[in-house]
Structure 1
Amino acid sequence: MDNYSQLLAFLWATEHGNFSAASRAHGLTPSAISKLISRLEDRLQVRLFQRGTRSLSLTEEGAAYLVSARAVINAMAEADSLAEAFPTRVSGMLRIHTMSTFAKHQIIPWLPEFLAAYPGLTIDIQIGAQFSDQFDQGLDLAIHSGVLPDSTRIARKIGQSRWIICASPDYLARHGTPEHPQQLLEHTCFSFGFNSVWNDWDFLIDGNPTRVPVIPKATFAQGDLLRDLALSGAGIVRLAEFHIGQDIHEGRLIPLLQNHSPDNFEPIYMIYTNRKHLSPRIRVFRDFLEQKLAQSPWNTRQS
């Protein structure tokens, strides 16, 4: 920083012709300007000015140094002006990792609106059921629910969603509606095919937390396949409300055993690497997403 101050003092003295005028123009004392230039000359081991009684004149070395000094100051000013534009310039590639169901039902519906608002931005959405830390491979942010592994990453809660056991009206008309959690053992049920708490069908029975050991007839890696089976009338599933909330609202799926359901709200997080210097492309996506989620009836976000 001292080298930069020395450069500025040199340019100011050259511009104004003496230390006194330079100091008045820039809020310093003449001695401060003189000391900065003396340090610069000592560092360069060359005299830059011929000092007269009331004025300064550049030496031959000083005139040559002036060209380089102006180039350095101009380059730094240009760099600063570019940096000042960063907060408002949204461009480049935004890489996101999230659950396929969240991408399909909570991002895709408003993504065209977002891209129209930020035409300089392109998005790469990578799909995975569970959070995987890929930030060292260029990932910008991740959106996942549930309990996250211990990490130094920033996890910002953006909402929470219930898990709902449900079936189609057609299935219930043909096979009856279970009135007690244990009756699920008599029904056709489907669940996820990987080890996850999403496969734990928990209930309150006589006020006590109870897990019913539902044995699925088939398992799948993607929640949308479970939803498709439920919508087709094939059986009963347990899915997140952010996934099937619209189906329930429009009567395509019917919630079951609500009187026995615990308050099993699951948090949804946005995960990124740095809280202080957040990239503009991440910031605008985060703000846009939170605005859309705030309008979602399923989102019972609690800080």
Structure 2
Amino acid sequence: MDNYSQMLAFMWANEHGNFSAAARANGLTPSAISKLITRLEDRLKVRLFQRGTRNLTLTEEGSAYLVSAREVINAMAEADSLAEAFPNRVSGSLRIHTMTTFAKHQILPWLPEFLALYPGLTVDIQVGAQYVDHFEQGLDLAIHSGVLPDSSRIAKKIGESAWITCASPAYLARKGSPSQPRDLLNHDCFNFGFNSAWNNWRFLTNDGQVTIPIAPKAVFAQGDLLREMALGGAGIVKLAQFHIGADIQQGRLIPLLTNYDIPTKEPIYLIYSNRKHLSPRIRVFRDFMQAKLLETPWD
């Protein structure tokens, strides 16, 4: 940065003809301009100006240096003008990590509209059931639910979702509906195949919170596979409301044991690495997504 300041001082002094005029025009003192140019000459080991009593004259070396200095200053000005446009320009690649079910049921339905609004933007959606911090590898955003690990990342709550115990009308017609949580032990149930709080089937009874030790008939790595089992009439599942809200609204799945539901809901967070100077591609995605969630609530 000091080299750039020295070059600017040289350009100003040449433009105005002396240190005093260059200093007045740029809010500095004549001694500050003089010191910057002296440092520049010491660094280059050449004299750039012949100092007169009132005016400066370029030396031969100074004239040659002026050509290169102008190219550098012009390039810097062009770079600054490009950077000033960044806050309003939406382009490049937006990399997102989220839950497979959230991507399928809450992002994909409106993604074509978003891409049409921002044709200079490409979106790379990576999916996985659990949150992973890949921001150092170029990730821009993550969308995940539940308890997040402590970190320096920024987590903005964008919604919340209940977890609903449910089954299809066909299964309930064949096996009957459980009337209390412990009845689940006599039903065909399905769970996630990895260690997760989502596998804890908790209910609120007269004795307080209880966890039913489900012995799943099968386990799956993705919530959509659990949903398909339930829709096919195979048994009972417990899935997020944002995932199966439409199925419940349209009667494809029936909520069970609602009198025993725990009233708290699981928060859903949008996570990014830094609050300051938020990239426009992140900002427009965040704002668009929040507007869509208000338009089509899953409950």
Q: TM-score, normalised by structure 2?
A: 0.91
In the TM superposition, what is the alpha-carbon distance from 1:202 to its structure 2 partner? 0.5
In the TM superposition, what is the alpha-carbon distance from 1:244 to its structure 2 partner? 0.7
Identify the range of structure 1 (224-233 vs 133-142) with the bigger mean alpha-carbon deviation. Answer: 133-142
Counterpart in the other structure of 1:125: 125
> How far, CA to CA, are the matches of 2:33 and 2:223 in structure 1?
70
In the TM superposition, what is the alpha-carbon distance from 1:207 to its structure 2 partner? 4.6
Matched residue of 1:171: which SS? helix
In the TM superposition, what is the alpha-carbon distance from 1:143 to its structure 2 partner? 1.7
In the TM superposition, what is the alpha-carbon distance from 1:154 to its structure 2 partner? 3.3
Mapped contact 1:93–1:122 kept (Cα < 8 A): yes
Counterpart in the other structure of 2:53: 53
Counterpart in the other structure of 1:295: 295
Counterpart in the other structure of 2:182: 182
In the TM superposition, what is the alpha-carbon distance from 1:94 to its structure 2 partner? 2.1
Identify the range of structure 1 (106-115 vs 165-174) with the bigger mean alpha-carbon deviation. Answer: 165-174
Matched residue of 2:159: which SS? strand
> How far, CA to CA, are the matches of 2:22 and 2:134 in structure 1?
53
Task: Provide, for residues 247-300 of structure 1, a one-character-per-residue CA deviation record: whole Å limited to 9, x for no partner.
Answer: 11222222111111112411222233333243332232222222222334247x
Matched residue of 2:162: which SS? strand
Mapped contact 1:163–1:264 kept (Cα < 8 A): no
In the TM superposition, what is the alpha-carbon distance from 1:14 to its structure 2 partner? 1.2
> How far, CA to CA, are the matches of 2:111 and 2:38 in structure 1?
59
Counterpart in the other structure of 2:160: 160
> How far, CA to CA, are the matches of 1:38 and 1:197 in structure 2?
68
Matched residue of 1:112: which SS? helix
Q: Specify the code of the residue in structure 2 equivalent to 1:127.
A: V
Q: How does 1:17-32 map to 2 (within 5 A)?
A: 17-32=17-32
What is the CA RMSD across the aligned residues, in angstroms? Answer: 2.1
In the TM superposition, what is the alpha-carbon distance from 1:200 to its structure 2 partner? 0.8
In the TM superposition, what is the alpha-carbon distance from 1:38 to its structure 2 partner? 3.0
Q: Specify the code of the residue in structure 2 equivalent to 1:175.
A: K
In the TM superposition, what is the alpha-carbon distance from 1:152 to its structure 2 partner? 4.0
> How far, CA to CA, are the matches of 1:171 and 1:105 in structure 2?
24
Task: Provide, for residues 57-101 of structure 1, a one-character-per-residue CA deviation record: whole Å limited to 9, x for no partner.
Answer: 211111111112112211211221121122222222222222111
Identify the range of structure 1 (92-101 vs 280-289) with the bigger mean alpha-carbon deviation. Answer: 280-289
Mapped contact 1:12–1:22 kept (Cα < 8 A): yes
In the TM superposition, what is the alpha-carbon distance from 1:119 to its structure 2 partner? 1.1
Q: How does 1:252-271 map to 2 (within 5 A)?
A: 252-271=252-271
Matched residue of 2:198: which SS? helix
Point out where structure 1 has 5 or more consecutive residues left out of the alignment: none
Matched residue of 1:79: which SS? helix
Q: Specify the code of the residue in structure 2 equivalent to 1:105.
A: H
> How far, CA to CA, are the matches of 2:21 and 2:108 in structure 1?
62
Counterpart in the other structure of 1:235: 235
In the TM superposition, what is the alpha-carbon distance from 1:148 to its structure 2 partner? 2.6
Counterpart in the other structure of 2:64: 64
Q: Specify the code of the residue in structure 2 equivalent to 1:47.
A: R
Q: Specify the code of the residue in structure 2 equivalent to 1:86.
A: F
> How far, CA to CA, are the matches of 1:136 and 1:18 in structure 2?
50
Matched residue of 2:215: which SS? coil
In the TM superposition, what is the alpha-carbon distance from 1:125 to its structure 2 partner? 1.5
Counterpart in the other structure of 2:200: 200
In the TM superposition, what is the alpha-carbon distance from 1:136 to its structure 2 partner? 3.7
Q: Specify the code of the residue in structure 2 equivalent to 1:267.
A: P
1:75 aligns with 2:93: no
Counterpart in the other structure of 1:36: 36
Counterpart in the other structure of 1:11: 11
Matched residue of 1:203: which SS? strand
Identify the range of structure 1 (169-178 vs 123-132) with the bigger mean alpha-carbon deviation. Answer: 169-178
Mapped contact 1:48–1:61 kept (Cα < 8 A): yes
> How far, CA to CA, are the matches of 1:27 and 1:213 in structure 2?
75
4+ residue runs over 6 A deviation = none
Provide the aligned length of Structure 1 versus Structure 2.
299
